[in-house]
Structure 1
Amino acid sequence: MSMLPDDLWRSIMQIGVETKTLDYKSLCCLSITCRRFRRLAFEDSLWSPLLLSDFPSTTNNSISRGKAKNLYQIRYEKERDKKRLAHRRAVLRIESEIAVHLRKIREIKLRSLEEKRKMNEAVGELLNLHRIRGASVALNVWQPEMIRSRQREMVQQTNVPVHVRINALEMEVSLCKQQIAAFDRAIQFQKKKRRAAEEELDSVKYHPLQNLQNTSGHSSGCRVRSKRLKGTSD
């Protein structure tokens, strides 16, 4: 390899850049192998096509005013900082979504507990009314002296007809059960969305410098890429 002239190595590198088999990383790796490759890899004839290819907004006038490699480094650092900021915004957005899901889950659980408390109170009152109905039947069938004083007090303290109140309480218990079931479904839905957001967050953190301009909603694309990487590693 040391016997080959510089023009031949320069042509090989130019062909690699033109065919896109040599990128900026490859040139940087070549530049640290030896002094000769370092000198050849820093030439503008190699970095100018890379600069125009990777950063199409670059003009020929800007290349002529400075070293192509230095301009590439400046553009690359700006793009890297932009991607890091986009990554940080994406992480903050997903973390806020997770926090919202957790808050909604807590709120729904509190409402479900309140509904269960109301249902338990209705069930307790319903049991007492059934006892009152039994006491009323006993008053009509048995002799008054055979009725315990507690049952007599329960009958006397009832202002609303027992059967009307029992029907109302049974309807209230049924509505409470339906509401609790709806709360349980809402909790499961919020947990599912929270898990999806957590998976998206893990995927974004696994690829910190990817293009995050279109990362909204669920991270289906990110998860597909993650699965592909795992498949290739296996």
Structure 2
Amino acid sequence: MSILPDELWRRILELGITSRCFTYKDLCCISISCRRLLRISDEDWLWSRLLFFDFPSDHRDPPSSSFPSSSLNNSKSLYRSRYERDRERKFAAHKRAVLRKESQIAEHSRKLRGLETRLAEETDNMRATISELSNLRKVREASVALKVWQPEVIRGRQKQIVEQCVVPVESRIRALEMELKLCKQQILGFEKALKDEKQRLNIAKEELLAVKYHPLRDYTSLSNGDHESNKKKKNKELKRSQ
């Protein structure tokens, strides 16, 4: 290490930063290896180049890399402050992303409860329709049986069943059969919607876990188009799974 001149070490560090192989962590680790590398890695021009590559929005042109420049004022401190601001921005974006996912989960849960309630109501309606339809069919069978000879006890019971019915049997049966078909269609629709909503809820929960696991990811870089494309991908996955 002592054989290599300072200019060569500067060139090595410069190539590492330019090729994006070196990060600020690597530069800090190198600086604690020996006093010589501490002095070289602490030079402003290295941190200025690192500042340019890590935060290009603040700089238009890369700084000169031939020799250390005295015109660069404390680039390491500037990098530290810029990094801290960027970290705070990422934490704020992460918090917003978590809140957004939690609100999506709450909305999916609300929709699930609504679908479950409507499904239960439609199921009860179908059961009531089946029960009424069964009773009317018994009335129709009893009215047909009255036209043939039967023992008086059985005939009296069937006559009582027919007299208790105050609605037109045939028309009511047809209406109930149509209502039963409609109930079954509604139940199938609610079950499908419930399944899709559960899948969306599970996806949102998985995304929430991923967001919480990566607190420093740059969530603000996602544009509205990215959100729309993600939604389209999820919808396609839901359609394929059906």
Relative to the length of structure 1, the TM-score reads: 0.82
The question of whether the paired residues in 1 share the 8 Å contact of 2:18 and 2:53 is answered with: no
Distance 1:57 1:137, change over 3 A: closer
Is 1:26 equivalent to 2:26 in the alignment? Answer: yes
Distance 2:177 2:18 in 1: 81
How do 1:76-225 residues align onto structure 2 when only pairs under 5 Å count? 76-142=83-149, 145-147=152-154, 149-213=156-220, 214=222, 216=227, 218=230
Kept in 2: contact 1:14–1:45 (CA 8 A): no
Q: Is the 8 A contact 1:139 1:147 kept in 2?
A: no
Give distance in 2, aligned partners of 1:220 and 1:212: 19
Contact 1:203 1:219 in 2 (8 A): no
Aligned-partner Cα distance in 2 for 1:117–1:219: 35
Determine the C-alpha separation between the residues in 1 that align with 2:205 and 2:27.
38
Q: 2:2: which partner in 1?
A: 2
C-alpha displacement of 1:34: 2.3
Distance 1:141 1:97, change over 3 A: same
Q: Which moved more, 1:121-130 or 1:22-31?
A: 22-31
Name the counterpart of 1:231.
Answer: none
2:17–2:50 Cα contact (<8 Å) kept: yes
Deviations 1:82-117 (A, max 9, x none): 111111211221222122112211211111111111
Q: TM-score, normalised by structure 2?
A: 0.79
CA distance in 2, matches of 1:200, 1:64: 47
Distance in 2 between residues matched to 1:220 and 1:139, nearest whole Å: 64
2: distance between equivalents of 1:56 and 1:132? Answer: 85
* Displacement of 1:65: 7.7
Q: Classify 1:198/1:138 alpha carbon distance in 2 versus 1 (closer, same or farther; 3 Å).
A: same
Letter in 2 for 1:115: E
CA distance in 2, matches of 1:10, 1:163: 98
The one-letter amino acid of 1:35's match is R
Post-superposition offset of 1:31:
1.4
Matches within 5 A, 1:57-76: 57-58=57-58, 66-76=73-83
CA contact (8 A) 2:126 2:183 kept: yes
Distance 1:127 1:11 in 2: 92
Q: Which runs of 5+ in 1 are unaligned?
A: 222-234
Q: Measure, in 2, the Cα distance between the counterparts of 1:143 and 1:24.
A: 101
Percent identity of equivalent pairs: 50
Distance 1:7 1:220 in 2: 54
Unaligned runs of 5+ in 2: 62-69, 234-242
Q: 1:109-134 CA deviation, whole Å, 9 max, x = no partner?
A: 11111111111111111111111112
Give RMSD over aligned pairs.
2.6
